Structure 1
């Protein structure tokens, strides 16, 4: 009887963990979907809402490492000053895996469809759960040739 009780409790705990992971994955996917909507509307501040609003945010790209939310936003505004340069964004998420209780590692592809020439590349994101929501704390994006 005691073994049955322990097994039942263990199965219940594992089920709760699986539900929590599914919910967390859904929240992260919803945030990524919202990023695409914001980008395609031309609202870079809205796009950046999923990023950790901290000077400790890290963005790695072809120009090196940028530290901080505001600096990352400023770089986006410089690199994509108008709708023609921003184009239409699409993500293809390849992996979304937990790396601990409050972190996820996401790998995906991005596609920018633009009249001035399409751009595509890969990205990896580290997401952290805060008291309020999931936020990106590190982004590494690279353009494919």
Structure 2
């Protein structure tokens, strides 16, 4: 009898959860406030759109071989966190020095293309970004693909990347 009650109880819990799922999945407040592959995006003034535009300005700066412009997207603080395929860099100054040393010949920076950008607003002044990208770099040009996850915060009037994690591979 005890086993039968337990089974009925678990079935009721499962049915209750399952019946609530469609309401959660189709709520008016989507998990992702912005997805670059979606034809309908938020208006230009929305926070999610502003975060997306920050990322696109960073991509444009990279493609112009403008390390300073690329770095403008990052929080200029010793508390900036940057992880790239196991390399850990802490602080804006260290990250900037790393880019200057790594690309003393800026023509080797190559071409970066954002394949997809998704923005999730965590708070009115904080967003989580998923970025899928391709890059052609080096001589001869080799293709690198990767994903980045970013935490972006509104600091004053500007949005800045405060934490970044990138994983890449050469196909």
TM-score tier by shorter-chain length is: 0.7 to 0.9
Deviations 1:36-61 (A, max 9, x none): 11111111011010100000000011
1:69-108 matches, cutoff 5 A: 69-108=92-131
* 1:112 CA displacement: 1.0
1:97 and 1:33 mapped to 2: Cα distance? Answer: 16
**TM-score (structure 1 length as normaliser):** 0.79
Measured in 2, the distance between the counterparts of 1:84 and 1:20 equals 36
- Unaligned 5+ segments in structure 2 are 1-28, 34-41
**Count, aligned residues:** 129
Deviates more, 1:122-131 or 1:95-104: 95-104
How many Å apart are 1:144 and its aligned residue? Answer: 2.2
RMSD (Å), alpha carbons: 2.3
Change (3 A) 1:20 1:90: closer
In structure 2, C-alpha distance between the alignment counterparts of 1:96 and 1:139, rounded to whole Å: 14
Deviates more, 1:85-94 or 1:46-55: 85-94
Query: 3-state SS of the aligned residue for 1:125?
Result: strand
Instruction: Identify the residue that residue 149 of structure 2 maps to in structure 1.
Output: 124
Could you tell me which runs of 5 or more consecutive residues in structure 1 were left unpaired when the two chains were aligned.
1-13
Structure 1 residue 21: deviation in Å?
9.9
Distance 1:20 1:94, change over 3 A: closer
Q: Within the alignment, does 1:48 sit opposite 2:71 as a pair?
A: yes
For 1:63 and 1:82, locate their aligned partners in 2 and report how far apart those are by CA, in whole Å.
24
How does the TM-score come out when normalised to structure 2? 0.68
